[in-house]
Amino acid sequence: MRNLEEQREYEAIQRAEEKVRALSVSLGRKPTACVVTFGCQMNARDSEKLAGILEEAGYEITDSEEADFLIYNTCTVRENADKRLFGRLGAVGSAKKKSPWRKLAVCGCMMQEEIHTEKIRKSYPFVDLIFGTHNLYTFPSLLDAVLSPENEGTLLIDVWDKADAMAERLPSRRKYAFKSGVNIMFGCDNFCSYCIVPYVRGRERSRRPEEILEEVKRLADDGVKEVMLLGQNVNSYGIKVPEEERSCFVDFPTLLARVAETPGIGRVRFMTSHPRDLSDELIEVIREHGNIARHIHLPLQSGSDRILKRMNRGYDRERYLFVTEKIRERIPDAALTTDIIIGFPGEEPSDVDQTIDVVERVRFQNAFTFLYSRRTGTPAAGFPDQVAHDTAQQGFDRLLSVVQRIAGEETAAHVGEVQEALAEGVNEDHPGLLTGRLSNNLLVHFPGEAAEVGQFVRVSLDEAHGFYYIGKRV
Ligand code: SAH
Ligand code: SF4
Ligand code: F3S
C-alpha cells in the first residue's frame, strides 16, 4: 500500500513520462539520463533512487555526462568535494548552449548549504534544478516541473531545512544487479565538532524494521546476493524513536541477525559503526553468522585523548583499544578498517604519535586518512588554533607510511588461504580476469568468465599486491 506522498509521486512520474515521450519524438531517439555521485554510500544509494525514477519516466540510463538529463549528487564533507563540482559545472554549461533541450540538476548535501545554492544561482544560471537531501523523494514532482514548457529557462530551487515524511516505495535502479545498499537510518545526531553531516542530513531517523526486512526480501527475490546496511552510526539504530513507536523497533544487532537470516542473502555488510556504541551483542551476532562480512569499519579519527575530546567523539583511546581487542578475540578473522583525520585544530606532533601508536596496535587492514577540512558552521571551524597546512601535511605523511606498511603486511598474511569471493565484474585492464570481493572487503583478481559475475566463488589467494590479491578458482 502506498501512502499519500508515494501516491502523489507516482502520479508525477506518469506526467513526466508523457513529457519524456514527447521529447523522444522530437529527438528521434530515446532520451538519456545520467546521475553522477560524489561522496559516500548514502549518496550512492540516493543516486540509485534518482536513476530509478528517471528510468521509470522513460529515460535510458547512461554513464555519459553528455546525457539529456544530468544530475550531480553532491558531497560537502570536505572542501575538495566542493571544488570538484564547480569544475564540472563550468564544462557542462558551454555544452548545454548547443543542445538547449538538455537539463541539468544539482542535489545532495552541498545543496543544503545556502552559500552553494547562491553561487550556482549567480555564476551557473544554466542549471535547471536544485534540490536537497530532505526532499529527494519528491524528485518525480520536481522532474515533472522541470520538463514543463512554462519552466523553460528558469532555475527551480527546492531545498528543505528538515525531513518530514519518508516515502519508502519509490523506484530505484541498482548499479549492480547482485548487490545493493539498504538505508536503515537517515541523518546523524552525533555532532562531531569537525563534521558537517548532521547539518546537511538532519536529525537521526530510523526506518521501521519491517520496511527494511521487506526491502531486503524483495532484493533477495530479485537476485541480490549481498546487501550493505547504511547509516552514519548504525549502532544507534532504533534508539531515538518516539516513545509510542518503541515497541515496533528492534536494536541493531537484532536487525542485522534478521537480515542475515533472510533466505537468498549470501552476505551482509554494514556502515558505519561508532566506537562509542559498538556492543558485545553486535560482536556475538557477527560471530554467529558466517554470512555477515568479516569486516568492521570503525572510524578512529584520532588516537589522542585530548583531540578525541575536542572532536566530541564520546570515547577515548582506551575504549577504542578495548573494543578492537574484543573484536580480535571473538572474531579473529575480521578485518578492521578505519578513518583518521590529521590536522584537527590544536593537534601537535605528539598527538599524531598517539594516533600512529593506535594504528600500530590495532593493525588496520586499511585506513582512510584525511587532512582536516574546515567546514563553515561546525564548532571546530571556530577553534582558534587551526593547524598550518604544512604541519598537517607532515603528520599526514608520517601516518600514511605506517598505515600503508601495516596494510601491506596484513594483506600478505592471508596469502595461501582459500576464501569465498563475490565476483563483482570483469577486470577492465585484463578482460580474462574477474574481480572478486572477499568477506574482509579485500579484492582478488582471478581468471574467469563474465557469466560468473554475481556469483560466490572459492578462490585461492596466491599473491598479494598491496591492497589486492592475484588468485585462481579452486
Ligand atoms: N558517520 C561516519 C563518517 C561519515 S564522514 C563516522 O562517524 O564514522 C566520513 C569520514 O570523513 C569521517 O569518518 C571523517 O574521517 C571524514 N571527515 C568528516 N568531516 C571531515 C572534515 N571536516 N575534515 C576531514 N575529514 C572529515
Ligand atoms: Fe559526522 Fe560524527 Fe555523524 Fe559520523 S558520527 S556523520 S563523523 S557527526
Ligand atoms: Fe558527503 Fe553527504 Fe555522505 S556530505 S560523505 S555525501 S552524507
Q: List domains and CATH numbers for the chain.
A: 4-158 (3.40.50.12160), 176-293 (3.30.750.210), 304-413 (3.30.750.200), 418-473 (2.40.50.140)
Which ligand is nearest to the Cα of residue 80, counting in written order?
A: 1
Look at ligand 2, atom 2, and give the residue with the nearest C-alpha. Answer: 192
SS3 category, 403: helix
pLDDT at 197 (0 to 100): 97
Buried/exposed 170-190: b ≥16 CB within 10 Å, e otherwise? bbbbbbbebbbbbbbbbbbeb
Q: 41 CA distance to ligand 3 centroid (A)?
A: 8
Atom number in ligand 2 closest to CA 191:
8
Which ligand is nearest to the Cα of residue 273, counting in written order?
A: 1
Q: Is the CB of 233 under 6 A from ligand 2?
A: yes
* Number of C-beta neighbours around residue 197 at 10 A: 22
Residue 362 CB partners (closer than 8 Å, separation 6+): 300, 320, 321, 324, 336, 338
Query: What is the separation of C-alpha 136 from the centre of its chain, rounded to a whole number of angstroms?
Result: 16
Report the C-alpha gap between 230 and 39 in whole angstroms.
Answer: 14
Look at ligand 1, atom 12, and give the residue with the nearest C-alpha. Answer: 339
Look at ligand 3, atom 3, and give the residue with the nearest C-alpha. Answer: 40
Q: Is the CB of 16 under 6 A from ligand 2?
A: no
Q: Is the CB of 188 under 6 A from ligand 2?
A: yes
Residue 314 CB partners (closer than 8 Å, separation 6+): 190, 274, 276
Which ligand is nearest to the Cα of residue 193, counting in written order?
A: 2
Q: 197 CA distance to ligand 3 centroid (A)?
A: 6
Report the C-alpha gap between 325 and 110 in whole angstroms.
Answer: 38
Atom number in ligand 3 closest to CA 73:
6
pLDDT at 269 (0 to 100): 98
* Number of C-beta neighbours around residue 4 at 10 A: 9
* Number of C-beta neighbours around residue 198 at 10 A: 17
pTM listed for this prediction: 0.96
> C-alpha grid cell for residue 156?
527551480
Atom number in ligand 3 closest to CA 81:
1
The type of residue at 152 is E
Q: 299 CA distance to ligand 2 centroid (A)?
A: 10
pLDDT at 82 (0 to 100): 77
The type of residue at 227 is V
pLDDT tens sequence for the chain (474 residues): 678 889 999 999 999 999 999 999 999 999 999 999 999 999 999 999 999 999 999 999 999 999 999 999 999 999 987 788 998 998 898 888 889 899 999 999 999 999 999 999 999 999 999 999 999 999 999 999 999 999 988 999 999 998 877 677 788 999 999 999 999 999 999 999 999 999 999 999 999 999 999 999 999 999 999 999 999 999 999 998 888 988 999 999 999 999 999 999 999 999 999 999 999 999 999 999 999 999 999 999 999 999 999 999 999 999 999 999 999 999 999 999 999 999 999 999 999 999 999 999 999 999 999 999 999 999 999 999 999 999 999 999 999 999 999 999 999 999 999 999 999 999 988 989 999 999 999 999 999 999 999 999 999 999 999 889 999 999
Pocket mutation for ligand 1, best pick of 195, 234, 342, 364 (most atoms within 8 Å of C-beta): 195
Buried/exposed 295-334: b ≥16 CB within 10 Å, e otherwise? bbbbbbbbbbbebbebbebebbbebbbebbeebeeebeeb
Q: Is the CB of 200 under 6 A from ligand 3?
A: yes
Look at ligand 1, atom 19, and give the residue with the nearest C-alpha. Answer: 195
Report the C-alpha gap between 385 and 379 in whole angstroms.
Answer: 12
pLDDT at 91 (0 to 100): 86
Q: 153 CA distance to ligand 2 centroid (A)?
A: 38
Q: 200 CA distance to ligand 3 centroid (A)?
A: 8
Closest C-alpha to 275, from 238, 326, 310: 326
Look at ligand 3, atom 1, and give the residue with the nearest C-alpha. Answer: 75
Residues 19-44: tens digit of each pLDDT? 999 999 999 999 999 999 999 999 99
Q: Is the CB of 378 under 6 A from ligand 2?
A: no
Q: 311 CA distance to ligand 1 centroid (A)?
A: 11
Q: Is the CB of 304 under 6 A from ligand 1?
A: no
Q: Is the CB of 133 under 6 A from ligand 3?
A: no
Report the C-alpha gap between 143 and 130 in whole angstroms.
Answer: 11
SS3 category, 27: helix
pLDDT at 293 (0 to 100): 98
Q: 82 CA distance to ligand 2 centroid (A)?
A: 18
pLDDT at 242 (0 to 100): 87
